[in-house]
Amino acid sequence: DTAVSQTPKYLVTQMGNDKSIKCEQNLGHDTMYWYKQDSKKFLKIMFSYNNKELIINETVPNRFSPKSPDKAHLNLHINSLELGDSAVYFCASSFAPGQGVRWTEAFFGQGTRLTVV
Amino acid sequence: GNSVTQMEGPVTLSEEAFLTINCTYTATGYPSLFWYVQYPGEGLQLLLKATKADDKGSNKGFEATYRKETTSFHLEKGSVQVSDSAVYFCALRAGGTSYGKLTFGQGTILTVHP
């Protein structure tokens, strides 16, 4: 009954490979995100989807391609992996605010530690 | 754009010491403010939140007050424990061109010694 679940938790792969990370949420949220955490713990947003529509696409190499088959799922596919892609990737979900409703918190998955060798 | 600035770390304290981690922000409109905590090897958990000016968020002995006049949301705890050792992130969500994304501070590593 995990709220936001990511798979796999650890991913070790060679340079040049293609890999995917999957994310699912069972909270009924309408918005999902991918964040990247670097070795200094800094968190930076990569993508955001609202009701399966891409609404945020930060400056990310086009080797990274998100896909949202439905509101509860957001996957991240990475082509031609590079050493610099090594990081922890977090999926998160939240509600977009309704009329007169304040911004609420986002819930995070456990993270996927990607190591490119 | 929106931004969050946290005090530089790491912070090292003895058990039962008083903790303050400073956080200031810049945002358009009326953001909601959050503190998240990341324990070693784990994901981010919401620690507390405040959604409007003068609100105080509190949880597990931690507190923070949304101060619009000083654009601050400082985290405090009166007596820290070894189990509080973690990375603490201040964050905000706001509308406009940020589309409600969470913007994080750089994180503050807290280590508490017995």
Kindly report, residue by residue over A39-63, the tens digit of the pLDDT: 999 999 999 998 888 888 887 899 9
What per-residue confidence (pLDDT) applies to A58?
87
Q: Can you give the pLDDT at residue A1?
A: 67
Q: Which tens digits make up the pLDDT trace of B9-26? A: 899 999 999 999 999 999
Q: What is the pLDDT of residues B57-98, one digit of tens each?
A: 999 999 999 999 999 999 999 999 999 999 999 999 987 666
Question: What are A105's strand-pairing partners?
Answer: none
pLDDT at B29: 79
Tens of pLDDT, residue by residue over B41-54, are 889 999 999 999 99
Report the pLDDT value the prediction gives residue B14, as an integer from 0 to 100.
Answer: 97
Q: Is B29 exposed, middle or buried (0-12, 13-18, 19+ CB in 10 A)?
A: exposed
Q: Tell me the C-alpha distance between A51 and A93, whole Å.
A: 11
- Among A9, A87, A108, A74, smallest CA distance to A42 is for A87
- Please tell me the predicted confidence (pLDDT) of residue B94: 84
pLDDT at A98 over 90: no
Q: Is A60 on the interface with B (CB under 8 A)?
A: no
Cα of B59 to nearest chain A Cα, Å: 15
The pLDDT, as a whole number, for residue A102 is 74
Nearest Cα residue to B9 out of B70, B87, B64: B87
Interface test with B, best of A47, A95, A103, A104 (most B CBs within 10 A): A103
Per the listing, tokens 């905590």 go with B37
A90 has which bridge partners?
Answer: A35
User: What does the pLDDT read at residue A101?
Assistant: 66
* A97 pLDDT above the threshold of 80: no
Given a contact cutoff of 8 angstroms between Cβ atoms, the answer to whether A36 and A48 are in contact is: no
Q: What pLDDT sits at residue B23? A: 98
Give A53's contacts (C-beta < 8 A, 6+ positions apart). none
**Residue A93: which of A103, A106, A77 has the closest Cα?**
A106
Chain B positions touching A31 (Cβ under 8 A) are 100
pLDDT of residue B13: 97
Q: Which of residues 78-107 of B touch A (CB under 8 A)?
A: 87, 89, 93-95, 99-104, 106-107
Indicate whether B99 pLDDT > 80.
no
* Angle value at C-alpha B65, between A35 and A40, nearest 5 degrees: 30
Q: Are B78 and B104 in contact (CB under 8 A)?
A: no
Of B87, B89, B94, the CB nearest to A103: B94
**Number of C-beta neighbours around residue B109 at 10 A:** 15
Computed over every residue of chain B, the mean pLDDT equals: 93
| Closest Cβ opposite residue B43 in set A31, A97, A111 | A111
| Chain A hits for B94, Cβ within 8 Å | 103
With beta carbons less than 8 A apart as the criterion, state whether A65 and A54 touch: no
